[in-house]
Amino acid sequence: ALDDTARIPSGVSLFGGFAGTESSPEARRAINFAHETILKIDRADASVVEIHDGRDIRLDGLTFTGANGKPGVVLLRCAPTVVLAHCRIARNTAPEPGAGLSI
């Protein structure tokens, strides 16, 4: 669990869904969440992940959960090279629409 929002800088890729025996991201089974990798925030009024002015970022095979008072994932002024693939955004709450994802 995270104590504070994860801020992902440009050029970073995060992959989840590994069982531990794979030798590459292509070998994992993230698409069916057989080996779910969860990023959970344990602090009120915080997002799980925020990307501001990002480019060349890939978040793949991850679950984002636990945001309370802010969206789970925030993408602000990002280039089209920021990719969320095979991700699950669930069980986040916010006072406004967009509790899961704010773009």
* pLDDT of residue 32 exceeding 80: no
Pairwise CA distance, residues 93 & 66, whole Å: 8
Residues 99, 103: Cα–Cα separation, whole Å: 11
Asked whether 70 and 15 are in contact (CB, 8 A), the reply is no
pLDDT tens-digit map of 5-27: 999 999 999 999 998 888 888 88
Quick one: pLDDT at residue 69?
93
Quote the pLDDT of residue 65: 97
pLDDT per position as a tens digit, 38-92:
999 999 999 999 999 999 999 999 999 999 999 999 999 999 999 999 999 999 9
Residue at token pair 């590994």: 18
pLDDT value of residue 96? 82
Contact indicator for 98, 71 with CB cutoff of 8 Å: yes
Structure tokens at 66: 């636990």
